[in-house]
A = this chain, B = another copy of it.
Amino acid sequence: MNSALAVDCMGGDHGVSVTIPAIQTFLTKNTVARVIAVGMPDRLAPEVERLARRFPDRITLEPASQVVAMDELPQSALRTKRDSSMRRAIELVRDGRAVAAVSAGNTGALMAIARFVLKTLPGIDRPAIATVLPARTGRVWVLDLGANVDCTAEHLLQFGVMGAALVRAVEGVSEPRVGLLNIGEEAIKGNQVVREAAEFLAASPLNFVGNVEDIYAGAADVVVCDGFVGNVALKTTEGLAQMLATFLREEFSRAWWTKLAAMVALPVLRRFKDRVDPRRYNGAVLVGLRGAVVKSHGGVDAYAFGWALERAWEAGTHRLVDRVAEQLAALNGGSAAENTAAPAPSAG
């Protein structure tokens, strides 16, 4: 079995100083995986050589002469950065040399290049970005998170299909519960698109559990929404969590006796923090493509980037792309064989 991850080592705010330590930890924990480190040889070669001594035959360097900037426009990155580390990493997936690509580079460019290089699966209009979040019970995958705004009901149905296949592949859940993010106001149950999407989802072979108002309730394994709405939910989550953390810190540092209380409570607060640590949820999956691509946040540390590597490993080795293709085929009443993914990811 192909077991290599293609890692864009230059992407993100911190580049090599974050990606290389994360790869080192990943290769220590996972004794099967291999890594193809993609980037500028002058910066990367010494690091890769060092790791290759420690992990023989498990890390190689793939040269790339360019880097996509964090604020670069997708179309510009697509046209002018044909030898970027981001693009080379995705091409390794296309060519069957890697099971998945990981990059902390800019989302727009990554999506545009991934679409261009890998192409979408048959029956998919728009790839989506999916991420996993903690829920009251278990975890929940949410898509789309911003790749697509102004979605139609058909797009939301496709997100449901892709999300269910993703959860089946990555979480090993056989009949994932698919929910539709909606509002519960008595006045109006959602907008036109969402109402129509609910009908499509209910008529599909998916295990559709209806409307979901609270992502975190644990009532669904997959929550489907327009990219605008999903991105707002994600940013609201991040903003609120940061504000609450700040307030909690302020209260505990207000006086000598609150600082004392903080010391006593520290182990408990640390366990709580670990449990909801956003770094553990780093690594969004681009789904609907003929290959697995994972996007890490740009500003993260090595611990968080390591989670993106784990997610890419799961997606790449658990037949994510094939499963999405199969689920699409089931939806369209065809056979999985007709709609199968490009041979690349499973052929290496």
- A residues with CB within 8 A of B: 71-74, 106-109, 111-112, 134-136, 146-147, 149-150, 181, 183-188, 190-192, 194, 213-217, 225, 227-229, 231-233, 235-244, 246-248, 251-252, 254, 258, 260-262, 264-265, 267-269, 271-272, 275-276
Contact = CB atoms under 8 A, between A and B. Distances in A.
Contact of A135 (B150, B243, B258): B243
B183 A231 contact: yes
- Residue with the highest number of chain B CB atoms closer than 10 Å, among A74, A135, A239: A239
A188 B149 contact: yes
A17 B266 CA distance: 41
Contacts of A252: 265, 268
12 contacts: A74-B186, A111-B187, A134-B243, A149-B188, A150-B192, A183-B227, A185-B227, A229-B232, A251-B272, A251-B275, A254-B271, A261-B267
A116 to B, nearest CB: 13
A106 B185 CA distance: 9
- Residue with the highest number of chain B CB atoms closer than 10 Å, among A134, A136, A181, A183: A183
B265 A146 contact: no
A211 B265 CA distance: 39
A232 B232 contact: yes
Contacts of A147: 185, 187
Given A246-B136, A261-B268, A272-B248, A236 B239 contact: no
A196 to B, nearest CB: 12
Given A214-B235, A240-B216, A186 B264 contact: no
Contacts of A191: 149-150, 228
A272 B214 CA distance: 23
A198 to B, nearest CB: 14
Top 5 A-B pairs ranked by shortest CB distance? A108-B187, A214-B239, A108-B186, A183-B231, A149-B191
Contacts of A109: 186
Contacts of A276: 244, 247
A170 to B, nearest CB: 22
Contact of A181 (B136, B186, B232, B251): B232
B244 A244 contact: yes
A264 B194 CA distance: 48
Contacts of A108: 185-188
A187 B264 contact: no
Contacts of A254: 268, 271
Given A108-B186, A229-B232, A251-B272, 12 more contacts: A107-B186, A136-B243, A150-B192, A191-B228, A214-B238, A216-B236, A232-B233, A236-B237, A244-B244, A251-B271, A261-B268, A264-B264
A295 to B, nearest CB: 11
A72 B232 CA distance: 30
A123 B21 CA distance: 59
Nearest to A233: B236
A187 B232 contact: no
A235 B188 contact: no
Contact of A272 (B107, B247, B267, B275): B247
Contact of A240 (B73, B213, B240, B262): B240
